[in-house]
Chains A and B, each alone.
Chain A
Amino acid sequence: MRLRRLELIDIRSYDRVVVTFGPGVTVLVGPNAQGKTNLLEAIHRAATGSSHRVSGDGPLVRAGSDHGVVRCELLGDDGRRRTLELEVGVGRRTRTKVDGQQVRRAADAVGALRVALFAPEDIAIVRGDPGERRRFLDDLLTQRRPAFGAARAEYDRALRQRNQLLKRARGLPADARAAAAATIDVWTEQLVTHGTQLIAARIAAVRALSGPVDRFYRELADRPEPVSIRYQASAGRDLGVPDVTEDPSLVPDPAPIADAFRAALAEAAEDEFARGLTLVGPHRDDLELTIGALPAKGYASHGEVWSLALALKLATVQVLAEVGDRPVVLLDDVFAELDTTRRDRLALACAGFEQVLVTAAVEADVPLEGARIEVAQADGLTRLRPREGAAGAA
């Protein structure tokens, strides 16, 4: 799909701007702190329901204003035109409209615009803590299957309730504990029901990613070693479902996962009461990344980390494109972080994408043909000036 036109009113450093984008590559060029990332952030927020920089929509509104608007005009792969509009207010819920109709839940708008964003922070997927890798998987799944977001919210709710119960029962003598935790079994059951859905969906995502990640890594890295990714469940190493299947899009059978999850919870019961915390479940799972025979975290060099993070992101573009529209690729300040060989290899991969929006402080860093828009601030407000070419702004 393509983002044809973007309008921002009172968003971050923009008071009002309208910009049109053509197919292929558009590079937003300008010195740092002028508003390039703000633009990509707004697009990413509209597409996924959350910002990659902050939680909550309040900070998106331009300082001094009480609400802002993000309006996207989209062109689907099937030629269908759609609009996606966000009205963001300080201290109130964001209103989202698809094709002029207000959606009941924010999750219903996810998927109208599909994006894959890559920013320098993304090396945390390889280097950071497990939470970063869970978020990477969940962001992909939310865009691939809108219902995943709902399942995730229900799991989080059941988890909070169960933790609260465990916290209250912590340190009580056995008989008082039984009374305080009389409902622990039903919360365990809720946790297993919703958690199993998350684990199954994530395993399916890992299966779908593993082939493309390996291929993209070999294309990007200096030493083309094989890369493997594997879902590491806190419920146990063996969930009774295969890591790899002939049909990578297959969602694993939930029954054995639920059994393993339930058994692991039963085993951890004493620990959980002692610590007042749920110790097993998708909220503690991880993604195991291996380059050659070594775990990427802790062993990979800086260049390998970058190549793997890029390969993971490029693989998500492909996985998303397998079901539904091809996503718009957003590259936020990525080229500056790469050496010349990797820049060229990334540029080569970008050539295959429907639409790519790139930000860069130094134009020479980006070895890509395509439209250029200059980004500069005047009096604290960002102005966009397209150079002669495919793109135009008003």
Chain B
Amino acid sequence: MYEGAVQDLIDELGRLPGVGPKSAQRIAFHLMQADTADASRLAEAITQVKATVRFCQRCWNISEAEECRICRDPRRDEAVVCVVEEARDVVAIERTREYRGRYHVLGGAISPIDGVGPDELHVKELLGRLDDEPVEELILATNPNVEGEATASYLSRLVTPLGVRVTRLASGLPVGGDLDYADEVTLGRAFLGRRELGV
């Protein structure tokens, strides 16, 4: 145990995801030895994030205004909405520069073990958007694991009767990889999701 402020800092850092007691100690000592200006910048960044960042009232992405940058952009296609679990999934999809529609961030996936049901996610808000906006296609881009699949399947059952086209991201082979390195599950899914080769 260290004295007062040092131990407080270590304890706080240790609460962060992915930071164990050893790392917390190392970061704390690094900060103590850093310039006062550097440490203040970090403190300021944390304060700012809490003060200014909130969630987009339309799609629940991280935003600095009432609505996020993507929802405010008139060039984005209103007819397509891509449903993701977390805001960081938006960033991942944006990096592809392939997608020109809007997003909807659920804030997680259905997982009874963690006490997360549809009511804990932004599902109601999604249904509201389908009423208010001219959405023609809903792309379900939840993670390809048990919880993500269950969430996608739940949303599909909910939304399909409303006459909206519901699609699911394909899962299969990684680009640039060798076929014989793919595991059986991935390869099996890739077979199920095979498509005609257009001429």
The chain A residues found within 8 Å of chain B, CB to CB, are: 107-108, 145-147, 150-151, 154, 157-158, 160-162, 164-165, 168, 182-183, 185-187, 189-190, 194
Contacts and interface: CB of A to CB of B under 8 A. Distances in A.
Interface stretch (B76-84, B124-132, B147-155): B147-155
Interface string B161-190: 000000000000000000000011100100
A147 B190 CA distance: 14
Nearest to B149: A190
B20 to A, nearest CB: 10
B183 A164 contact: no
Given A154-B146, A161-B112, A164-B112, A186 B184 contact: no
B14 interface: no
B118 A183 contact: yes
A251 to B, nearest CB: 12
A157 B117 CA distance: 16
Contacts of B146: 154, 157-158, 161, 190, 194
Of B110, B117, B150, B185, the most chain A CB neighbours within 10 A belong to B150
Contact of B184 (A145, A157, A168): A145
Given A160-B113, A164-B112, A165-B112, A183 B154 contact: yes
Contact of A183 (B113, B117, B145): B117
A171 B196 CA distance: 51
Contacts of B153: 186, 189-190
B111 interface: yes
A158 B149 CA distance: 10
Q: What are the 6 closest A-B residue pairs judged by CB atoms, nearest first?
A: A147-B184, A164-B112, A165-B112, A157-B146, A186-B153, A186-B154
Contact of B150 (A150, A151, A164, A186): A186
A187 B110 CA distance: 10
Contacts of B111: 161
A117 B58 CA distance: 59
B184 to A, nearest CB: 3
B157 interface: yes
B119 to A, nearest CB: 8
Interface size of B as a range: 10 to 19
Contacts of A151: 185
A183 B185 contact: no
Nearest to A165: B112
B113 A185 contact: no
Contacts of A108: 183
Of B147, B157, B184, B185, the most chain A CB neighbours within 10 A belong to B185
A164 B157 CA distance: 22
A149 to B, nearest CB: 10
Contacts, number: 56
Given A161-B113, A183-B110, A186-B154, A146 B183 contact: yes
Of B118, B145, B146, B157, the most chain A CB neighbours within 10 A belong to B146
B154 A147 contact: no
A185 B157 CA distance: 10
Nearest to B150: A186
Contacts of A190: 146, 149-150, 153
Interface of B: 110-113, 117-118, 145-147, 149-151, 153-154, 157, 183-185, 188
Nearest to B146: A157
Contacts of A160: 113
A185 B145 CA distance: 17
Nearest to B151: A186
Nearest to A107: B183
A151 B184 CA distance: 10
A344 B157 CA distance: 63
A183 B147 CA distance: 11
Contacts of A183: 110, 112, 117-118, 150, 154
Contacts of A189: 150, 153
Given A150-B184, A150-B185, A189-B150, 18 more contacts: A108-B183, A147-B183, A147-B185, A147-B188, A150-B183, A154-B145, A154-B146, A157-B145, A157-B147, A158-B146, A160-B113, A164-B112, A168-B112, A183-B118, A186-B150, A186-B151, A186-B157, A190-B146
A187 B150 contact: yes
A3 B185 CA distance: 29
Nearest to A187: B150
15 contacts: A107-B183, A108-B183, A145-B184, A147-B183, A150-B185, A161-B111, A164-B112, A164-B113, A168-B112, A185-B157, A186-B150, A186-B157, A187-B150, A189-B153, A190-B153
Contacts of A187: 112, 150
A107 B112 CA distance: 26
A63 B147 CA distance: 39
Nearest to A185: B157
Contacts of B145: 154, 157
